[in-house]
Amino acid sequence: MRILVVEDDVNLNRQLADTLKEAGYVVDQAFDGEEGHFLGDTEPYDAIILDIGLPEMDGVTVLEKWRGAGRGMPVLILTARDRWSDKVAGIDAGADDYVTKPFHVEEVLARIRALIRRAAGHASSEIVCGPIRLDTKSSKATVNGTALKLTSHEYRLLAYLMHHMGEVVSRTELVEHMYDQDFDRDSNTIEVFVGRLRKKMGVDLIETVRGLGYRIQAPKHAN
C-alpha cells in the first residue's frame, strides 16, 4: 500500500512518514501544495494525508483539483484545532476524513487503515481469503492460524492482492503500489515475490492470469 504525505512541517512530515513505513506502507512525501498536487495527480496512491495550511497552494485547492480531475483516492486532511471552517471546507472539497492537530500518530494510522479498507469494500480490520487471514491493524498474516514470516515486500504484495480480492491486478499496478517514486522499479521482480509468497503460504490461492496479472481468491468450496 502506497501513501502520500503532504505536510509543510518538516518534522511532522518525517514523523508521519516514518510511522507509516514502520507499519509497512510505502511512503512518498511532499512539502508544499504544488508538489503535493503534482504527485497526487500523476502517481497512484492508496491514500493521501493532506495538510490544509500549505504554502504555494492550500490543501483545499489541491483537493478540489484532484477531485475535479476525477482522482478518487481516499484523502485524510489535517486541520488546526481552532479552525472548524477548515474541516467543513475540506469535507466539502472531497475529503474522506480529518484529524485535528495536535494528534497521536496512532490515530492517523487507524484512520488511514480504515479509509483503505473501505475504499476496497472491507469493513473489518481483518481480511480473510480461505485459510489466509490478514490483520491490517498489526500488519500480520496467518495461514490456518499459523503466522506467516514475510518480508516487507511480500507483505505489501499479499496485502494489496487481498484488499483487491477477486480482482485481476497487473504487474504494473503492483509495482506502482509496492514501491515509492524514487525506487528503481522492475516488474519482473513481482514474479519472484509471488513465487516466494506461494511457497510460504503453502496453499494455491494466487492465480496467474496469463497476459493480465494476478488474482487472489478463496476456493469455491471455502464458504
**Is residue 152's pLDDT more than 80?**
yes
- Rounded mean pLDDT, 39-52: 96
pLDDT tier for residue 77 given thresholds of 50, 70 and 90: very high
Cα separation, 126 vs 70, in Å, equals: 29
pLDDT tier for residue 186 given thresholds of 50, 70 and 90: low
Q: How many Cβ atoms are within 10 Å of 29's Cβ, its own excluded?
A: 21
Q: Give residue-wise pLDDT tens across range 127-139.
A: 999 999 999 989 8
pLDDT tier for residue 223 given thresholds of 50, 70 and 90: very low
Residues in the chain: 223
Q: Give residue-wise pLDDT tens across range 139-150.
A: 899 999 999 999
pLDDT tier for residue 219 given thresholds of 50, 70 and 90: confident
- Does 115 or 83 have the greater pLDDT score? 115
- Residue 74 near residue 119, CB atoms below 8 Å: yes
Cα separation, 197 vs 195, in Å, equals: 5
Cα separation, 12 vs 23, in Å, equals: 17
CA-based torsion, 150, 47, 44, 18: positive or negative: negative
Q: HSE (CB half, 13 Å, CA atoms) of 67?
A: 15
7-11, 12-16, 21-25: range with lowest mean pLDDT: 21-25
- DSSP conformation class of 168: -
95: nearest Cα among 137, 121, 61, 138: 61
- Rounded mean pLDDT, 70-97: 91
Report pTM: 0.85
